[in-house]
């Protein structure tokens, strides 16, 4: 009798884990797009539509981005640096202090090595300098989510 209970428990446990794993597999990654330029937000959103992701929101400044981040807890963030209210580097620091496993890809016109190094030092997972085109963004994004 004990063996039967143990066997059934194992099956239930296995099915449970399997279901959770299946659900986990089917949930698309949540993405937040942060840029003070509306055209950039729209372009990034459009370029990423082929990926199996859910855009949970966009923000035009660091403060709004941080509030949205804490509310929705996205898995991935694309982050501009020069923005009103709160700059991107401060925003990265705050976001990773809240949820350190978030992957943040910096997308900025500040193409100098210093900015890139600072962002990576803070914990950014990728860096893309503007100007960019659809293919460049997709490649960087794919590389980042695959890492």
Q: Is 82 among the residues that bind other proteins (CB under 8 A)?
A: yes
Candidates 29, 30, 136, 138; binder of other proteins (CB under 8 A) is 136
In this chain, which stretch among 64-72, 88-96, 97-105, 107-115 interacts with other proteins, using CB under 8 A? 107-115
Candidates 51, 94, 132, 138; binder of other proteins (CB under 8 A) is 132
Task: Give one DSSP letter per residue of the chain, joined into a string.
Answer: -HHHHHHHHHHHHHHHHHHHHHHHHHSPEEEEEE-S-HHHHHHHHHHTTTSSEEEEEEESSHHHHHHHHHHH--SEEEE-SS-SSS-HHHHHHHHHHH-TT-EEEEEES--SHHHHHHHHHHT-SEEEESS--HHHHHHHHHHHHH-
Residues 29-48 that bind other proteins (CB under 8 A): 36-40, 42-43, 46
Complex with other proteins: residue 1 or 39, whichever CB lies closer: 39
> Which residues of the chain form contacts with other proteins (CB under 8 A)?
36-40, 42-43, 46, 82-84, 108-115, 129-134, 136
């Amino acid at each position: 009798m004990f063996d039967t209970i143990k066997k059934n428990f194992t099956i239930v446990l296995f099915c449970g884990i399997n279901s959770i794993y299946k659900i986990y597999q089917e949930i698309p990654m949540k993405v937040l797009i942060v840029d003070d330029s509306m055209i950039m937000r729209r372009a990034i959103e459009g370029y990423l539509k082929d990926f199996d992701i859910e855009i949970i929101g966009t923000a035009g400044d660091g403060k709004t981005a941080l509030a949205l981040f804490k509310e929705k807890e996205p898995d991935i963030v694309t982050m501009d640096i020069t923005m009103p209210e709160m700059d991107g580097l401060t925003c990265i620091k705050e976001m990773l202090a809240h949820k350190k496993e978030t992957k943040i890809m910096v997308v900025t016109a500040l193409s100098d090595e210093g900015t890139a190094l600072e962002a990576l030092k803070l914990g950014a997972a990728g860096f893309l300098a503007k100007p960019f085109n659809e293919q460049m963004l997709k490649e960087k994004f794919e590389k980042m989510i695959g890492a």
